[in-house]
Amino acid sequence: KSTTLQALSHAGLAYHLLPDRRALTDRILIPQMQEAAGEPVEPVSDRARRFGYTRDYRARHPGGMGEALA
C-alpha cells in the first residue's frame, strides 16, 4: 500500500485515503445491523458479536464494504 501511495504522489496524482475497515465497521456496518435487529446502537468490543454483525451485513449486502462506501 505504501509503495502505491508513493507512486501516486510521485506521479502527481490526487487520491483520498479511506478510513480503515475497523473504523468503517464501527461507524457504519455494526450500527446498521443493531438498528435492523431492534437493538440499541452501542460500541461492540466482543469479537464474536462483531463477527455476527459483519456476517449479517454481508448476508443483506452481498457487496460488503463496497456497498457501504458507495
Name the residue ranges covered by the structural domains of the chain: 20-69
Give me the phi and psi of 53, to 5 degrees please: -65, -45
pLDDT given at position 70: 82
pLDDT given at position 1: 67
Pick from 4, 14, 24: which is nearest to 69 by CA?
A: 24
pLDDT given at position 15: 84
* Residues 14, 39 contacting (CB under 8 angstroms): no
Return averaged pLDDT per consecutive 10 residues of the chain, 70 residues in all: 87 87 94 97 97 95 88
* Residues in CB range of 26: below 8 A, 6 or more apart: 43, 44
* Residues 31, 41 contacting (CB under 8 angstroms): yes
